[in-house]
Structure 1
Amino acid sequence: MTGDAADPDGRDGPDESGRGAAGPTDPIWLRLAAADLDPEAHALVVAALHGDAELEAALRGEPAVEAPPVPPRSQYRPRRAYLRRVRVRGFRGIGREAVLDLRPGPGLTVVIGRNGSGKSSLAEAAEVALTGRSQRWEGMQTAWRDGWRNLHDGERTEASVELVLAGDRESTEVTRVWTGSSVRSAEGAVTRPGRSPEPLSTLGWDDDLRRYRPFLSYAEVGRTIEGRASELYDMLSALIGLTGLASAERRLARACRELSRRARRPGKELPELVAALREAAPGNQRAEAALAALEGPDIDLERVAGLAKADPVDPEELIVLRRTRRLAVPEESTASDVIDELRGAALELAMVAGTKSARAHGVIDLLRRALEHHAQHSADARCPVCGADDALGPDWAARAVAEIGALESTASGAEAAYARAEEAREKARVLLAPPPEWVPRDSELGRAWAEWSAGSSRSDLVELADHVVRAGRRLRGAAQIARVEAAHRLSEISEPTEGWALLADRLALWVERARDAEFAQDVRGPAERARAWLVQAARELRNERLRPLASQAEMVWRRLRQERHIDLGALRLIGSGLQRRVAVDVTLDGAESAETSPGVLSQGEMHALALAVCLPRTLAKGNPFGFLIVDDPVQAMDGPTVEGLADVLAQVGRHRQLVVFTHDTRLTSALRRLQLPATIRTITRTPNSEVFVR
């Protein structure tokens, strides 16, 4: 097994891992520059590599920039870091402060102790100090995950890691202190030589901690092979620096699915729309026209859009239509009451006509009118009827009043008939009210109503009754027609639940989606070509970058397998999205197998395979962490495999700092028996959670 060929001492040097490869020299951009892609597909690949917003803009047809998605970062990686000390207090199984001192630099250190001695607590404390989380806790129940504070000494919970960065004599200390009840309440800080505490982000390790993870627990090893197929895929993608490429693939895949959905949507909705139009077509010219347009061999979207537009409506017209629909005119029963009253009053007048009582009533009426005229024009004594001068003076007025008094008893017999007649006329005048101002005068309703109200000037009771009958019949007919027409018109323009407007809205929406489908179909071709190119280029690039790791994994496997007749071949990243996984080529007893499966390997062999895949990441170029903490790697291994593991760990220890926690004495025995270079430490724990490392 070989270490990092470049930069063996971990000082600053060129980064060949692609850490700063988002610029024009990144392999994916070089491949894209040489690709035989049409301009539309090329622009979509560029946009997908940029991000979601850029791809959405490109899909809308907006110009796409050709520059790389982010400015090129520094071509020099951070200095390599080694562990000098791990200090833990009040965390998990550790009460009082426990310290693990280490020699910073390459080498293998094995910390051995029985179960419950505090090994995993030390390993997890170092992980949490740097990352704020532990992968072993992920997915566990809340009660277990949050039971992190030690019961014997939990007043202050703290974990710190002292690191030595290449080129420094003094340590850089990363400290995390818990201030609340939640395991996620820890606050972290870093103190570098000669500087005040700073946020952990100033180390610039956020991406590297996810990508290279200098921690490897038994649980993580198990998930690598037995967990979801995508987990190993994602781990290796991050390790070879191509997570951004995977994101671009997912963006284009989502875009293609969405374009396909948009292109198919109008066709799926059309049968239901046609059925609704067919139901409404009888008597509805626009529905019939829309139906004919949609059922033709070629759909003219412009024509359909024109049919979908509601007629422009004047707001005042809309008011008139709504009022007309609710219009009330004198009902026939109401008019009949007035007619009966008019005719009854006319008959009663006819009965008193020619009698002394009627004559006396007429004289009284005439005298009263004359008195009213005299009161209004007292200075003018001339009679307006005969023209005689001084005929209407004060003496005349006195005589007229006296005569009225004398005639009243005679006129009383006809008074009731005349009062009834006047009351009937008043009822008729109220009934014959003029039309509202909003009724159009030139409409049939307006003309009928004008004729109706003109009858209010009539005084003859019989003629007035005949007018109410004749004009009322015409008015009610015109009003009924106007109400029906107004309701029909409103159903077309303003009441979607009853008429065309609902269908017009649906038709307009369908036209909008049909136009969008045409656009989506035009863009779909370039998008599919862009996706196909990116998938193929990404597959080739992944396997190209994965090849050195696969070679390292194959060497690890050869040492771990011992006498087993299982050869590990190439590792390949295949599939995408939910189908992404890692294919492992194997040869079993000389017979080639397409890919490994859990049924081919034993539990110990699967564990060894997981270690073979995970261990090489610590040797990857560009990894700023010169150390790897491994917790319980021996489980489920038989004796020969443990010896192979001892050999592998010693080999890795020549190039990196390995800190291995284990309870299995077979590992330390194998190291001694094989005389492999290693520092062996012992960890113990007292009943009061005091942990000592010797």
Structure 2
Amino acid sequence: MTRVPEGIETGDRAAAATGDDPTAAVLLDALARAGLPRGVHSWVTAALWGDEALEARAQGRAVPDAPPPAPAPQAPARVRRAYLTRIRVQGFRGIGRPAELTFPPGPGLTVIVGRNGSGKSSFAESAEAALTGRNPRWDAMPTGWRDGWRNLHYDESTEATVDILIAGDDAPTRISRRWTGESVRSARGEIVRPDGTTAPLRTLDWGEDLIRYRPFLSYDELGRTVTGRSAELYDTLTALLGLTGLAEAERRLARFCDSLAKRRDRPSRELPRLLDALRACDDPRAARAAELLTGPGLDLEALRRLAEDDGPSDAALHVVMRRLRRLSVPERVVMADVVNELRGASMELAMAAGNKGDHAYGVVRLLEEAIELHQRHPAETTCPTCDTPGTLGADWVRRAQARLRVLRQQAAPAAAAHERAEAARDQARFLLAPTPSWLPPDSELGLVWALWESGATITDLGELADHVETVGKSLRAAALSARRDAAERLEDPTGGWAEEAERLASWIDAAGDALGARDTLAEAEAALTWLAEQARLLRDERLGPVAGQAEQVWFRLRQERHIDLRGMRLIGRGARRRVEVDVTVDGVGDQTSAPGLLSQGEFQALALSICLPRTLVDGNPFGFLVLDDPVQAMDTETVEGLSAVLAEVGRHRQLVVFTHDTRLPDALRRLGLPAAIRTINRDAMSNVWVSDGSDRY
């Protein structure tokens, strides 16, 4: 038979864990005695003031030597503890018609036993919903499950009412919640005070306490205590111990140190990418910057001068680019017209060649040139072609002019063909302009233009047409490419250096900031080290009573198992904060493996060991704790240990335990432990009724 446990501490030692100690005063006293350097001291006080003070401290502005003064100490007000007197439910989950549970207000253990589906959890969850408007079990369920919360056999309103007697009141305070919509969170709540006046639920001011002390614990929530997010339990215990402000100060200083460390390390992280970009840039200034960045020492001023020099690296080339952007070459249509005219004139010449008209055209040209020569040299009478003296003279001129009048008529078609050919050549020569003097001859456009210009020496009309057509296409393509490249380069006349100069300037600013952050970080980290150590000492001191109670509870639950709970610690901060529970199995104390050897029932017992002491804290305004199915997965010996623990806790608090497992009431009866045992039943139409423990099912 299991021995009734000795008394679980609920007195002064537990009160030390409530946070009634003036934490700020304790911390300031330790700070005054620490003898920290003034800079480190000011970082600690800035962390206690808040984020704005930390920013001010980082910027060199003054921060008060002490954190904000705490309110003048007052004698702690006696907690007006609240006890359940009734839970009334209708239309909620498994309960249809109105059903209720009543309890004597004050400490004591009540066990309500019923089969699965008898309405036990409906009572527990409706009571929690009445006070909080939510239930952690709902939050973890799929949407379809959360929406199926109304009872199928009851068409009237869904309501949950909890009557609570608050110490010092003559009558209970009634807390009601009525659901008006389809959502489980559509309920509206109100309270009716003992004097009959109504008020919103928020006037009870229990919001934080409901989270901190959790007067409702289900099987699922107990499981998450050990296997779920440890940060949630950490925050709960920190608030319970009155150390939330200190934890926040430590977190904000740690965040600030992380920010300073990132600023310090940023130039080193970004340097490889900056060097890659500089080495990929053709500008000589980029090469010089890379040389300075990788050389001995770091000359920020020399780097800054380079970054500020963001003009073109080659002024002459910049002029060429500007001219190229405005450069024009013959349009494709114009080239096509000239080519067509050259080929048309060539064809017309070919058709006129060798006929009488062409011969007449040749004679006309010869006579016209001879007359012109004689007119310039009238004294010369010797024929220039046959060298016959006395041939030329006034008579010869008259005869030649008369002959010309006849021949010109015969030569007219041939003359027109030759005139057209010459005009076509002139058009082509106009297009074949010489290479601009400013154009680099070795550039792609310069080489093509030189070839284009050489066409001016071609006399054959067909060859000239082919030249204009073929080389003209290449000229236009090269010119368009050169103009496009010039436009792009003129957008950044530095050829890419401007962008790299901007990146370099940003890196230089970050490097300067890193130097300041490095010096600042040294003091801030020293302050964080001191503050973290003080927080650890205070956590260990205040958690001790709660951890001691947890060990006592575990000792009674473990029975004959060789499993020891050696303590709890609050460790880490920020995202890494957690509650570390020391468990040894068969003497194995490796925390990474020992918990993995626990069975599900042992996990449940461990969770109860951690959660039950929270109920006994003096600052807890809730004199009651509702446990929904804590017995699941426990063996018979553990159930006997649990019955003894619950009976002992029931001496100090009101415990309401819902269970389907008859081993718990059997153990209470067998051990002769004080408890009110009731049974709950439900029929096919969701009618629920409760009877005393003499009824069995």
Structure 1 segment 111-510 matched on structure 2, within 5 A: 111-194=112-195, 196-281=197-282, 284-311=283-310, 324-328=323-327, 491=489, 494=492, 498-510=495-507
When structure 1 is superposed on structure 2, of 100-109 and 558-567 the one drifting more is 558-567
Equivalent position amino acid for 2:131 in 1: L
Aligned-pair distance for 1:31?
3.4
Q: Secondary structure at the match of 2:77?
A: coil
Name the residue aligned to 2:383.
Answer: none
Cα distance in 2 for partners of 1:78, 1:321 equals 89
Q: Is the 8 A contact 2:643 2:667 kept in 1?
A: yes
Name the residue aligned to 2:557.
Answer: 560
Name the residue aligned to 1:366.
Answer: none
Equivalent position amino acid for 2:522 in 1: G
Name the residue aligned to 2:11.
Answer: 5
Q: Is the 8 A contact 1:322 1:490 kept in 2?
A: no
Q: Secondary structure at the match of 1:182?
A: coil
Question: Structure 2 vs 1, CA of residues 637 and 485 (structure 1 numbering), >3 Å: closer, same or farther?
Answer: closer
Cα distance in 1 for partners of 2:131, 2:493 equals 66
**Alignment pair present for 1:35 and 2:34:** yes
Name the residue aligned to 2:519.
Answer: 522
Cα distance in 2 for partners of 1:89, 1:310 equals 81
Q: Is the 8 A contact 1:491 1:500 kept in 2?
A: no
Q: Is the 8 A contact 1:324 1:486 kept in 2?
A: no
Aligned-pair distance for 1:325?
4.8
Name the residue aligned to 1:460.
Answer: none
Cα distance in 2 for partners of 1:677, 1:216 equals 22
Name the residue aligned to 2:661.
Answer: 664
**Alignment pair present for 1:571 and 2:568:** yes
Q: Which runs of 5 or more residues in structure 1 are unaligned?
A: 9-13, 314-318, 338-349, 354-422, 432-443, 446-479
Q: Which runs of 5 or more residues in structure 2 are unaligned?
A: 1-6, 313-317, 339-364, 369-422, 432-437, 440-477, 692-697
Residue of structure 1 aligned with 2:602, choices 605, 613, 633: 605
Name the residue aligned to 1:626.
Answer: 623
Question: Structure 2 vs 1, CA of residues 202 and 518 (structure 1 numbering), >3 Å: closer, same or farther?
Answer: same
Q: Secondary structure at the match of 2:188?
A: strand
Cα distance in 1 for partners of 2:682, 2:634 equals 26
Q: Secondary structure at the match of 1:570?
A: strand
Cα distance in 1 for partners of 2:49, 2:629 equals 41
Cα distance in 2 for partners of 1:627, 1:275 equals 67
Q: Secondary structure at the match of 1:136?
A: helix
Question: Structure 2 vs 1, CA of residues 545 and 266 (structure 1 numbering), >3 Å: closer, same or farther?
Answer: same
Cα distance in 1 for partners of 2:514, 2:170 equals 66
Aligned-pair distance for 1:312?
7.7
Equivalent position amino acid for 1:172 in 2: T
Cα distance in 1 for partners of 2:502, 2:49 equals 38
Q: Secondary structure at the match of 2:154?
A: coil
Question: Structure 2 vs 1, CA of residues 54 and 331 (structure 1 numbering), >3 Å: closer, same or farther?
Answer: same
Question: Structure 2 vs 1, CA of residues 32 and 621 (structure 1 numbering), >3 Å: closer, same or farther?
Answer: farther
Aligned-pair distance for 1:640?
3.0
Aligned-pair distance for 1:611?
1.3
1:654-676 superposed Cα distances (whole Å, 9 cap, x missing partner): 11111111222222222223222
Question: Structure 2 vs 1, CA of residues 170 and 584 (structure 1 numbering), >3 Å: closer, same or farther?
Answer: same
Aligned-pair distance for 1:331?
7.1
Cα distance in 1 for partners of 2:206, 2:66 equals 26
Aligned-pair distance for 1:170?
2.2
Aligned-pair distance for 1:49?
4.0
Aligned-pair distance for 1:522?
2.2
Question: Structure 2 vs 1, CA of residues 492 and 534 (structure 1 numbering), >3 Å: closer, same or farther?
Answer: farther
Q: Is the 8 A contact 2:47 2:253 kept in 1?
A: yes
Name the residue aligned to 1:593.
Answer: 589
Cα distance in 2 for partners of 1:70, 1:117 equals 55
Equivalent position amino acid for 2:167 in 1: A
TM-score by length of 1: 0.71
**Alignment pair present for 1:535 and 2:536:** no
Q: Is the 8 A contact 1:322 1:486 kept in 2?
A: no
Q: Is the 8 A contact 2:325 2:486 kept in 1?
A: no
Question: Structure 2 vs 1, CA of residues 611 and 691 (structure 1 numbering), >3 Å: closer, same or farther?
Answer: same
Cα distance in 2 for partners of 1:627, 1:535 equals 35
Cα distance in 1 for partners of 2:493, 2:123 equals 74
RMSD across aligned positions (CA):
5.4
Equivalent position amino acid for 1:165 in 2: I
Cα distance in 1 for partners of 2:78, 2:135 equals 26
Cα distance in 1 for partners of 2:321, 2:187 equals 69
Equivalent position amino acid for 1:651 in 2: E
When structure 1 is superposed on structure 2, of 51-60 and 684-693 the one drifting more is 51-60
Equivalent position amino acid for 1:298 in 2: G
Question: Structure 2 vs 1, CA of residues 327 and 531 (structure 1 numbering), >3 Å: closer, same or farther?
Answer: same
Q: Secondary structure at the match of 1:183?
A: coil
Q: Secondary structure at the match of 1:687?
A: coil
Q: Secondary structure at the match of 1:280?
A: coil
Aligned-pair distance for 1:127?
1.1
Cα distance in 1 for partners of 2:68, 2:27 equals 12
When structure 1 is superposed on structure 2, of 146-155 and 113-122 the one drifting more is 146-155
Question: Structure 2 vs 1, CA of residues 46 and 560 (structure 1 numbering), >3 Å: closer, same or farther?
Answer: same
TM-score by length of 2: 0.70
Q: Is the 8 A contact 2:310 2:497 kept in 1?
A: no
Cα distance in 2 for partners of 1:649, 1:519 equals 59
Q: Is the 8 A contact 2:569 2:580 kept in 1?
A: yes
